[in-house]
C-alpha cells in the first residue's frame, strides 16, 4: 500500500464511520417519532399481498409511470442508486489498491456490462429529473408549480449527489483503463474506455477518485442524517415500508373509497359507550394520528404530484395536500423531544409529564407543543382552518402519490375533532347537519315527498314490501328524490329499467340519507345514526337473501360508495352497482337498444366518487358511446386525473369564498372540447356543472345531463327532457 492509498484509506474509513453513526441515530429518531402515533392494527394483515404490491410499486414503478417521462427517468435513477451501491462498496477496495475490486463478481464481464448500462441510463435519468425540476421551479414565470413549497435546495442537493457519484464511477473506471488495470472489454464498457482515453496514466488516480466518490456518498448520508425531515432523500428507504403498510394493498384505489372508521386506541369507536374524557374523538394533537399517519408524513418526497392535481390548489385556495403533510411532518419532529420526554396533553387537556421530565426539553420543542393543530395565523396554528375546509375529499392527492400517503383520511380525522368536540366548522354547513338529524336529508325536505318523483311516469314503480320479488333495490338517494335536476335522472333510470324488463323496487319513505356528507365533514355521530338506520332497513328488505342477491343500484356515486364500501363496517353487506354499470350491461346484452344517436358532441365528466374512488371508468363511456353519434370527446383531465366538480367532502353545502370556483374551472375545460352535451353520472356534479354553465352564460349552448338521460333520449326518442312521455302535438 503506497502513501496515497494509506491516506485515502484512513479518510474513507473516518468519514464512513461518522456517516454511519449519524445515520443510525437518525433512523432511531425516525422510528421513535413514528412510534409516538396511535395503534393501527389493521396494517399487518395479508403480508403476501402487501409484499407483492410493495414490490410492484417500487421495482415496477407502477404508480410513478403514470407520469411517463418522469416515471421512466426516476426508475433508472432508482435502479442506479440500488445496483450501483455495489460500485460504492467497490470503491472501498479501490482506495486501498488501484487494482482493487469486488471479490467474486468484480471481474465478471456481465457485471461490468450491466453496471455500465445502468450508470449510463442513470446519468440520463438524473439529468432529465434535474431539467424537469428547473423547468418547474416555483420562481419560474407563469404561476405556481408543483414544487411550490418544496425545500428546493434539498432536491437539487440530492440530484447533484446522484449525478456526481455516477460521474465519479466513470472516472474511477477511466483511470483503471488509463493505467491498464481495467478488466472489462471495450464492447462491454464503451463509456469507461472513452473516458480512460482522455485521462493520464496516473496510478494514484484510481484511489483518489474512489475516495472522492466515497466522500460524496458519505456527505450525502451525513446531510440527510442531520435532516430527518428531508423526505426527498429519506423516501428512498421509508417508501418500502409506507407502501407495504398501505390501507388496502389488494385494492387498486387503496386509501380511497371508504374512510377509515373513527378509532380510539386502535379500536373503532362505539358512540353508545364512548366518553370524550377517555376516548379519542378525531385528531387534536399530532401524536393522535396513527403511527401510519406519522410514517406518511415522514415519507413525503415533496414531489408535488398531489399538489398539481388538487382542485383546491389549482383554483387559488390555501390547501395543498403536500404542504399540509409537510406542515404536519415538521410539527411532529419539532414537537418530538417534548413528547419523547413524556410530555403531552391527556384528553381533558391536562399535562401528562412532570416538571422534572420536561426540565431538560429544548425551549423550541416546548413552544412547538403549545401550538394548536388547527388554528389561524394569530393563534399560531399548524393547519389553518381554511386549509382544512377547502378539501373536497376528491382523492386526487391519494391517487397520484407515489408513496401511498393517505391524505384524505388525515384531513377527515382532523375535521372529526373540530366538528364533534370543538363544534368548529363553516356555519353554512350547520343547516345541512341539522336537516340530516331532523329530516333525514340535507335539504330538509319532508319525508313524505320522497316518492314524488314517480308522478307522471307511465308505469307503476313498485315498493319494497309490495313487490313479490325484485332483482334490484333502486336506491334513489336524497338528491334523486328531492332535487329537481336529479329527479330527471331518477325518472330516466326507472324508465330504462322498466323498458329493459329489470325487476326493481324502491324503499320510498323508508329510505334516508346514507350519511355521506355528515361523515366527510367530520360528524361521525350523525353518519352512524343514519347508517345504522339504513342498514337495519336494508337488512329487513333483503331478509333471507345471500349477499350476491342483495343487489342495490344507486344513481349517486356518494350513496354508491357509502352503501358498498362503508356500510360493511356496520353490518350491512350488499352488492352495489352504479346505474351506469347496470345500463352498460343492459345495452351490451341487447335489453336496451339505442335507436337515435345524440348529436352535437358529448364529453364526459368523471365523478370523483365513481371514478377515482371506485374505479368505474368504462361503463359510463360505453353507454355514451352507444348513444352518441360522434362518440365521446374527452376532456384533457379525465379518468384517474379527472378534475373535481367542487361538491365532495360536504363542500356542496359550504360557500366557496376563496379563489376561483372549482366548478367554473371544470366547466371551462368541458366547453373547450366543443361538445354541446356534458354528460355526468352524479347529481352533485350535475348541480355544480349546471351552475357553472349558467354562470358562464352558456345555458342555451351547452347542456349538462346525466348519462341515463342521454341513453333514454336515444332509446326512446319520444321522451321529453324530463324523462316523461311527450304530449302529442295538436294538428
C-alpha to C-alpha distance for 446 and 305, rounded to whole angstroms: 44
Does a structural domain hold residue 399?
yes
Does a structural domain hold residue 265?
no
Give tens-digit pLDDT for 329-348: 999 999 999 999 999 998 88
| 437 and 407 housed in the same domain | no
SS (H, E, C) 143-191: CCCCCCCCCHHHHHHHHHHHHHHHHHHHHHHHHHHHCCCCCCCCCCCHH
Q: What is the mean pLDDT of residues 207-219?
A: 94
Confidence band, pLDDT 50/70/90 cuts, at residue 574:
very high
Does a structural domain hold residue 731?
no
C-alpha to C-alpha distance for 671 and 663, rounded to whole angstroms: 12
| 202 and 329 housed in the same domain | no
Domain termination residue (choose one: 194, 223, 244): 244
| 297 and 369 housed in the same domain | yes
| 94 and 188 housed in the same domain | yes
Confidence band, pLDDT 50/70/90 cuts, at residue 731:
very low
| 534 and 452 housed in the same domain | yes
Query: In whole numbers, what is the pLDDT of the chain averaged over residues?
Result: 92
Domain termination residue (choose one: 421, 443, 460): 421
| 95 and 233 housed in the same domain | yes
| 408 and 451 housed in the same domain | no
Confidence band, pLDDT 50/70/90 cuts, at residue 436:
very high
Does a structural domain hold residue 638?
yes
Terminal alpha carbon distance of the chain? 111
Query: Can you list the alpha helix ranges (DSSP code H) found in 179-285?
Result: 190-196, 205-226, 231-244
| 409 and 443 housed in the same domain | no
Q: What is the mean pLDDT of residues 323-332?
A: 97
Residue 393: CATH number of its domain: 1.10.1060
Residue 179 clears pLDDT 80, i.e. is over it: yes
C-alpha to C-alpha distance for 622 and 582, rounded to whole angstroms: 11
Domain termination residue (choose one: 421, 449, 468): 421
Residue 349 clears pLDDT 50, i.e. is over it: yes
Total number of domains in the chain = 3
Does a structural domain hold residue 578?
yes
| 565 and 484 housed in the same domain | yes
C-alpha to C-alpha distance for 18 and 23, rounded to whole angstroms: 9
- Residue 341 has what pLDDT? 94
Does a structural domain hold residue 356?
no
% of the chain with per-residue pLDDT over 70: 98
Range(s) of the domain holding residue 185: 3-138+145-244
Confidence band, pLDDT 50/70/90 cuts, at residue 726:
very low
C-alpha to C-alpha distance for 540 and 510, rounded to whole angstroms: 11
C-alpha to C-alpha distance for 359 and 599, rounded to whole angstroms: 76
C-alpha to C-alpha distance for 248 and 591, rounded to whole angstroms: 36
| 301 and 399 housed in the same domain | yes
| 32 and 110 housed in the same domain | yes
C-alpha to C-alpha distance for 586 and 18, rounded to whole angstroms: 68
Does a structural domain hold residue 730?
no
Q: What is the mean pLDDT of residues 181-195?
A: 92
| 410 and 390 housed in the same domain | yes
Judged by average pLDDT, the poorest of 347-356, 368-377, 685-694 is: 347-356
Does a structural domain hold residue 256?
no
Amino acid at each position: 500500500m503506497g502513501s496515497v492509498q494509506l491516506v485515502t484509506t484512513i479518510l474513507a474509513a473516518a468519514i464512513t464511520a461518522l456517516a454511519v453513526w449519524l445515520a443510525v441515530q437518525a433512523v432511531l429518531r425516525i422510528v421513535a417519532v413514528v412510534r409516538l402515533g396511535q395503534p393501527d392494527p389493521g396494517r399487518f394483515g395479508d403480508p403476501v399481498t402487501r409484499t407483492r404490491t410493495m414490490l410492484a410499486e417500487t421495482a415496477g414503478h407502477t404508480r410513478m409511470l403514470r407520469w411517463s417521462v418522469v416515471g421512466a427517468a426516476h426508475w433508472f435513477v432508482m435502479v442506479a442508486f440500488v445496483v450501483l451501491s455495489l460500485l460504492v462498496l467497490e470503491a472501498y477496495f479501490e482506495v486501498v489498491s488501484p487494482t482493487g475490486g469486488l471479490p467474486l463478481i468484480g471481474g465478471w464481464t456481465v457485471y461490468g456490462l450491466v453496471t455500465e448500462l445502468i450508470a449510463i441510463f442513470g446519468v440520463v435519468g438524473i439529468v432529465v429529473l434535474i431539467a424537469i425540476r428547473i423547468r418547474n421551479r416555483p420562481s419560474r414565470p407563469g404561476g405556481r408549480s408543483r414544487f411550490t413549497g418544496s425545500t428546493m435546495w434539498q432536491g437539487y442537493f440530492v440530484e447533484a449527489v446522484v449525478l456526481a457519484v455516477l460521474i465519479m464511477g466513470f472516472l474511477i473506471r477511466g483511470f483503471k483503463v488509463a493505467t491498464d488495470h481495467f478488466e472489462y472489454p471495450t464492447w462491454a464498457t464503451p463509456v469507461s474506455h472513452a473516458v480512460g482515453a482522455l485521462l493520464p496514466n496516473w496510478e494514484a488516480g484510481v484511489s483518489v477518485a474512489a475516495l472522492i466518490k466515497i466522500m460524496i456518498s458519505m456527505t450525502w448520508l451525513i446531510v440527510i442524517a442531520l435532516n430527518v425531515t428531508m423526505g426527498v432523500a429519506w423516501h428512498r428507504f421509508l417508501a418500502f415500508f409506507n407502501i407495504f403498510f398501505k390501507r388496502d394493498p389488494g385494492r387498486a384505489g387503496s386509501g380511497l373509497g371508504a374512510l377509515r372508521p373513527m378509532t380510539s386506541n386502535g379500536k373503532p369507536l362505539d358512540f353508545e359507550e364512548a366518553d370524550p374524557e377517555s376516548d379519542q374523538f378525531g385528531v387534536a394533537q399530532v401524536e393522535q394520528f396513527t403511527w401510519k399517519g406519522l410514517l406518511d408524513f415522514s415519507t413525503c418526497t415533496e414531489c408535488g404530484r398531489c399538489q398539481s392535481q388538487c382542485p383546491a390548489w389549482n383554483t387559488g385556495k390555501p390547501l395543498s395536500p403536500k404542504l399540509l403533510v409537510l406542515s404536519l411532518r415538521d410539527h411532529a419532529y419539532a414537537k418530538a423531544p417534548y413528547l419523547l420526554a413524556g410530555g403531552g396533553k391527556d384528553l381533558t387537556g391536562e399535562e401528562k409529564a412532570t416538571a422534572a421530565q420536561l426540565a431538560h426539553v429544548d425551549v423550541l420543542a416546548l413552544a412547538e407543543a403549545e401550538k394548536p393543530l388547527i388554528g389561524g395565523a394569530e393563534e399560531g396554528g399548524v393547519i389553518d382552518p381554511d386549509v382544512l375546509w377547502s378539501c373536497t375529499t376528491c382523492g386526487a392527492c391519494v391517487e397520484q402519490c407515489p408513496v401511498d400517503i393517505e391524505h384524505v383520511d388525515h384531513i377527515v380525522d382532523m375535521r372529526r375533532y373540530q366538528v364533534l368536540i370543538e363544534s368548529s366548522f363553516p356555519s353554512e354547513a350547520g343547516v345541512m347537519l341539522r336537516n340530516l338529524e331532523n329530516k333525514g336529508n340535507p335539504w330538509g325536505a319532508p319525508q313524505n315527498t320522497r316518492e314524488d318523483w314517480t308522478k307522471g311516469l307511465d308505469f307503476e314503480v313498485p315498493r319494497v314490501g309490495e313487490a313479490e320479488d325484485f332483482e334490484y333495490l333502486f336506491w334513489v338517494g336524497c338528491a334523486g328524490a328531492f332535487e329537481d335536476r336529479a329527479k330527471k335522472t331518477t325518472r330516466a333510470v326507472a324508465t330504462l329499467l322498466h323498458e329493459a324488463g329489470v325487476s326493481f323496487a324502491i324503499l320510498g319513505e323508508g329510505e334516508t340519507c346514507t350519511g355521506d356528507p355528515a361523515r366527510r365533514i367530520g360528524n361521525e355521530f350523525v353518519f352512524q345514526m343514519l347508517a345504522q338506520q339504513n342498514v337495519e332497513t336494508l337488512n329487513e328488505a333483503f331478509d333471507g337473501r345471500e349477499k350476491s342477491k342483495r343487489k342495490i343500484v344507486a344513481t349517486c356515486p356518494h350513496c354508491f360508495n357509502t352503501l358498498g364500501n362503508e356500510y360493511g363496517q356496520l353490518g350491512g353487506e350488499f352488492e352495489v352497482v352504479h346505474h351506469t354499470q347496470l345500463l352498460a350491461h343492459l345495452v351490451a346484452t341487447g335489453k336496451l337498444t339505442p335507436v337515435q344517436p345524440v348529436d352535437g358532441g358529448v364529453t364526459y365528466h368523471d365523478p370523483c366518487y365513481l371514478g377515482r374512488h371506485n374505479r368505474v371508468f368504462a361503463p359510463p363511456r360505453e353507454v355514451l358511446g352507444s348513444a352518441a353519434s360522434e362518440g365521446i370527446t374527452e376532456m384533457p383531465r379525465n379518468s384517474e386525473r379527472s378534475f373535481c366538480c367542487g361538491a365532495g367532502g360536504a363542500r356542496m353545502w359550504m360557500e366557496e369564498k376563496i379563489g376561483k370556483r372549482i366548478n367554473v374551472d371544470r366547466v371551462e375545460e368541458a366547453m373547450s372540447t366543443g361538445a354541446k352535451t356534458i354528460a355526468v353520472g352524479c347529481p352533485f356534479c350535475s348541480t355544480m356543472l349546471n351552475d357553472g354553465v349558467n354562470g358562464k352564460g352558456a345555458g342555451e349552448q351547452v347542456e349538462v345531463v346525466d348519462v341515463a338521460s342521454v341513453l333514454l333520449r336515444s332509446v326512446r326518442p319520444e321522451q321529453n327532457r324530463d324523462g316523461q312521455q311527450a304530449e302529442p302535438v295538436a294538428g
